[in-house]
């Protein structure tokens, strides 16, 4: 616990979260769910008119706040954007050409990631479960996975055919709930 606290105090949120996980310190909510990059998250979420808690949920699941992480699929940074997606979103925002390291900068990565989330939420009529599944597995899979009839989100999530995506959606939505509380206390979400 002391090592996790020290890591977080030094800004090493990934190390702190990993240490708490190994220690099975599940009740250390303040350490497990840091509010890193809060001004950037709030600004970009506000500009995209999405919940900052959703942005935090995605960051927490994707990178555990390590801005330099690269996945086996070559996804990069806090919000784990693959280079073609980062480039596409960058163009849609009218940003100049992205340099190799630029996508790792928290400001740029969060700007691109929140804009991409906004696109997915628009495509799926504000449905957080479909948008987060799409963020993880790609939007091309959603037409095959979307229910043909009204179905509550929890039941639909259980029908996702890939364990990785099913667990991803569950985690992001759970983390989103925790961040809603941390951002707003007992007040309603402000989108």
- Nearest residue to 42 (alpha-carbon basis) of 54, 31, 32: 54
Radius of gyration in angstroms for the set of CA atoms belonging to the chain, rounded to a whole number = 16
| CA torsion through residues 108, 133, 183, 2, sign | negative
Helix (H, G, I), strand (E, B) or coil at 167: helix
* Ranges of H-type helices in 76-162: 83-92, 106-123, 128-137, 142-145, 153-158
Residues classed as catalytic: 62
In a 13 Å sphere around the CA of 156, the CA atoms on its Cβ side amount to 19
User: Do the Cβ atoms of 110 and 78 come closer than 8 Å?
Assistant: yes
The model's pLDDT over 99-137, given as tens digits with 9 standing for 90+, comes to 889 999 999 999 999 999 999 999 999 999 999 999 999
Q: What is the pTM of this model?
A: 0.92
Separation between Cα atoms, residue 173 and residue 61, nearest integer Å = 10
Separation between Cα atoms, residue 45 and residue 114, nearest integer Å = 6
Question: What is the mean predicted confidence (pLDDT) over 35-51?
Answer: 97
pLDDT at 190: 47
| 2, two tokens | 């002391």
Separation between Cα atoms, residue 160 and residue 172, nearest integer Å = 15
Separation between Cα atoms, residue 118 and residue 50, nearest integer Å = 7
> Does the pLDDT value for residue 26 go beyond 70?
yes
> Does the pLDDT value for residue 142 go beyond 70?
yes
Q: Label residue 153 exposed, middle or buried (CB < 10 Å: 0-12, 13-18, 19+).
A: middle
The model's pLDDT over 145-170, given as tens digits with 9 standing for 90+, comes to 877 888 888 889 999 999 999 999 99
Separation between Cα atoms, residue 96 and residue 17, nearest integer Å = 34
């Amino acid at each position: 616990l002391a090592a996790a606290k020290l890591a977080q105090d030094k800004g090493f949120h990934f190390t702190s979260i990993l240490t708490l996980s190994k220690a099975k310190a599940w009740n250390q909510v303040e350490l497990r769910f840091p509010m890193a990059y809060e001004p950037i998250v709030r600004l970009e979420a506000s500009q995209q008119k999405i919940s900052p808690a959703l942005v935090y949920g995605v960051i927490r699941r994707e990178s555990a706040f390590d801005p330099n992480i690269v996945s086996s699929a070559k996804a990069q940074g806090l919000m784990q954007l693959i280079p073609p997606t980062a480039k596409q979103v960058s163009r849609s925002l009218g940003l100049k050409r992205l340099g190799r390291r630029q996508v790792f900068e928290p400001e740029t990565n969060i700007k691109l990631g929140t804009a991409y989330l906004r696109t997915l939420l628009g495509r799926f009529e504000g449905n957080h479960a479909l948008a987060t599944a799409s963020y993880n597995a790609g939007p091309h899979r959603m037409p095959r996975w979307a229910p043909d009839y009204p179905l509550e989100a929890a039941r639909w999530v259980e029908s996702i055919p890939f364990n990785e995506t099913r667990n991803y959606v569950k985690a992001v939505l759970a983390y989103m709930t925790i961040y809603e509380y941390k951002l707003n206390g007992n007040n309603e979400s402000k989108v």
